[in-house]
Each structure stands twice: as C-alpha cells, then as structure tokens.
Amino acid sequence: MQPFNLKERSIRDAFYVTIFIKGFDGVIEIALGLVLMFTNSLSDLIFFLTRNEIIDDPNDFFTTHLRAFASQSHEAFVLGGLYLIAHGAVKTFLCASLWRGYPWAYPAAMAFLGLFILFQLIRISVTGSIPLILLTLFDVGVFWLVYHEYKRQV
C-alpha cells in the first residue's frame, strides 16, 4: 500500500462518499420496494384522500396524476417492488463490503455497476432521458473510483 499524497487522499475520500451515497440509496430502494409491495391499501388511501379534490377540480394536475399512478395494476407494483428490493439489497450489500475493504467486493461491484451502466445506456438510447444520462455519468464515476481503489490495494 502506497502512502497517501493529497490527490490520492481526495480520490479515496470521493470513493467513500460515493459508496456511502450508493449504500444509502440502496436502503431507500428497499424501503420504496416494500411500499410498492403493499400498494393496494396505499391506492385505496390515495383514492380516499383525493376524492373531494377530484370533485372540486377534475383537471387538477397533481390529483389526476396521483390517481393515475394509484390505478396501475397490483402486479405491476409487486414486480416493481421486487425489483427495487433486490437491486437495493445487492447495492447495500456491495457498498457495505466495499466500505469494509473486502478484496472480492471490488470486482463484484465493478461487474454489477458495469451491467447497470450497460442497461442504462440501452434505456438512454430508447428514451433519451436527461436524468438517466446524469445517473449513468455518476455510475461511470463510481466505477472508476472502485477500479482506482482496487488497483491501489492490489
């Protein structure tokens, strides 16, 4: 292991900050996935809470979009919830493993990130989504930081 200079220290700090952000995002994904799994009661609550507003103003932007979201099929919510839970669990596990410095976690995280970057690039080619482009650039940066830290430790 090499001694730290200022540049290496900054890169290592950026590595830990991004790993923390990704891990926290994984925990949020798990929580949102669990919420999606129980959307029948959530959908009923949304329809109950917005019933008066839709009567007062049938063209209310927020209310109509919220009700459209709540009227999706339960199977779609379950599938989305399972995806978020699985993705969040893998992300949280890998981030915790990277934080602890397990040597096997670096190649595993790079493989996982590489697959999701590829998936995101395919989605970008279909949708042209600006937020997805920004997320992909962030993930490419995280990939580089994981690679750099792995090479530093080897």
pLDDT of residue 2: 56
Locate the domains of the chain by residue range: 6-153
pLDDT of residue 42: 72
Cα-to-chain-centroid distance, residue 128: 19
pLDDT tens profile 41-63: 777 788 888 888 888 888 888 88
Number of other residues whose CB lies within 10 A of the CB of residue 3: 6
Pick the closest to residue 145 from 84, 93, 99 (CA basis): 99
Six-digit token string for 22: 């990704």
pLDDT tens profile 92-144: 999 999 999 999 999 999 999 999 999 999 999 999 889 999 999 999 999 99
- Amino acid at position 140, single letter: V
Give the DSSP per-residue string, the chain: -PPP-HHHHHHHHHHHHHHHHHHHHHHHHHHHHHHHHTHHHHHHHHHHHHHHHHHH-TT-HHHHHHHHHHTS-HHHHHHHHHHHHHHHHHHHHHHHHHHHT-TTHHHHHHHHHHHHHHHHHHHHHHH--HHHHHHHHHHHHHHHHHHHHHHHH-
Cα-to-chain-centroid distance, residue 152: 27
pLDDT tens profile 114-124: 999 999 999 99
pLDDT of residue 4: 65
* Residue 24 CB contacts under 8 Å (≥ 6 apart), including other chains: none
